């Protein structure tokens, strides 16, 4: 379960609020997407939810432990995929100890769930963007989380890898893990999420089931014509009509 209550955030030494008055609740085991324009505060909100940032106002109720999949990772020093995943075990290891065999076993199992066992001994920074994203998901799973928060998990991926990551997010439901992810593509929200938080102009936020993403709302949000279209009378897809 994740509950945000009247959140407001401003960066240190600035007066301008990035957002304010954000309230929403995601029941345990549901998927929530966050959509909004560039600069609407999606990433900032994600960081408030993970606890990296402390909101100026309001508070977040979240069932811990939580896993976090950052948008971009940049390791200064090389490490293997296995070592990257086992870092997810830190909360069980602590500051004055080393990862044990059992931690490595869990890390391997998490890699197995995502079919990346063959990458375990490889150097993380030599992997493709899609593979790195999978490793970060495996690291989040190694936390044995109640909730995983993804910051734009698909932004650097091709269609195939987007589909792969989204199906992994969907599969979290079976494990009763709550998932929150931000995205630039309303289709991701439409296909994967149960709930959607639409970060429109401050302080105008819309939260609800994915059907709140009407043509009108999406067109207003991005300032261009967007339409939901039924493909083969079955799947609904959002189509952007470029000028």
Partner 1 sequence: MKKQIAFQILLTLILLFSIAVATAMGRFSIPLGTVFRVLVNGVINNELVRETVEYRVVFQVRLPRILLASLVGMALSVSGAVLQGIFRNPLVDPGIIGVSFGAAFGAVAAILIAASSALIMTLSFTGGMLALFITLSIAGKMGLKNILSIILGGIVTGAFFSALISIVTYIADPRDTLPLIVYWLMGSFSSADTDKLMLLGLICVVCFAVIFKSRYVINLLALGDEEAYALGVQVTRLRMLFLALTTLVTAAAVSVSGTIGWVGLVVPHIARLVTGPDYRSLVISSALLGALYLLLADTLVRTTPYGEIPIGILSALVGAPVLAYLLRSRMISS
Contact string (CB under 8 A) for partner 1, positions 20-49, x = contact: ---------------------------x--
Nearest CB to partner 1, comparing residues 85 and 168: 85
Number of amino acids touching partner 1 (CB under 8 A): 27
Cβ–Cβ < 8 Å for 218, 185: no
Check binding of 52 to partner 1 (CB under 8 A). Answer: yes
Cβ–Cβ < 8 Å for 156, 162: no
Cβ–Cβ < 8 Å for 189, 31: no
Minimum distance of partner 1 from residue 238's CB (angstroms)? 30
Minimum distance of partner 1 from residue 176's CB (angstroms)? 21
| Chain center to CA of 27 | 16
Minimum distance of partner 1 from residue 76's CB (angstroms)? 5
Check binding of 74 to partner 1 (CB under 8 A). Answer: yes
Contact string (CB under 8 A) for partner 1, positions 82-101, x = contact: -x---xx-xx-x-xxxxx--
Minimum distance of partner 1 from residue 79's CB (angstroms)? 7
Name the segment binding partner 1 (CB under 8 A); options: 15-23, 34-42, 69-77, 107-115: 69-77
Query: Which position has the token pair 């993380």?
Result: 124
Name the segment binding partner 1 (CB under 8 A); options: 79-87, 194-202, 205-213, 219-227: 79-87
Check binding of 145 to partner 1 (CB under 8 A). Answer: no
Check binding of 5 to partner 1 (CB under 8 A). Answer: no
| Cα 219 from Cα 216, distance rounded (Å) | 5
Q: Which residues bind partner 1 (CB under 8 A)?
A: 12, 47, 50-52, 65, 68, 70, 73-79, 83, 87-88, 90-91, 93, 95-99, 143
């Amino acid at each position: 379960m994740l509950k945000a209550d009247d959140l407001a955030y401003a960066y240190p030494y600035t007066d301008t609020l990035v957002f304010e008055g954000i309230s929403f609740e995601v029941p345990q085991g549901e998927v929530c997407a966050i959509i909004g324009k560039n600069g609407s505060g999606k990433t900032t909100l994600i960081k408030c939810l993970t606890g990296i940032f402390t909101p100026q106002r309001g508070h977040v109720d979240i069932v811990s432990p939580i896993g976090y999949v950052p948008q971009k990772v940049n390791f200064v020093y090389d490490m293997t995929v296995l070592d990257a995943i086992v870092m997810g075990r830190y909360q069980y290891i602590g500051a004055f100890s080393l990862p044990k065999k059992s931690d490595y076993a869990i890390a391997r199992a998490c890699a197995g769930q995502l079919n990346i066992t063959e990458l375990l001994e490889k150097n993380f920074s030599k992997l493709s963007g899609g593979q790195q994203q999978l490793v970060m998901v495996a690291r989040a799973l190694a936390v044995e989380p109640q909730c995983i928060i993804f910051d734009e998990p698909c932004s650097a991926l091709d269609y195939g890898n987007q589909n792969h990551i989204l199906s992994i997010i969907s599969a979290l439901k079976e494990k009763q893990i709550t998932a929150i992810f931000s995205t630039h593509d309303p289709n991701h929200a439409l296909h994967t999420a149960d709930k959607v938080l639409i970060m429109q102009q401050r302080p105008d936020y819309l939260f609800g089931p994915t059907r709140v993403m009407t043509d009108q709302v999406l067109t207003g949000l991005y300032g261009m014509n967007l339409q939901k279209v039924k493909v083969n009378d079955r799947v609904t897809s959002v189509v952007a009509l470029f000028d």
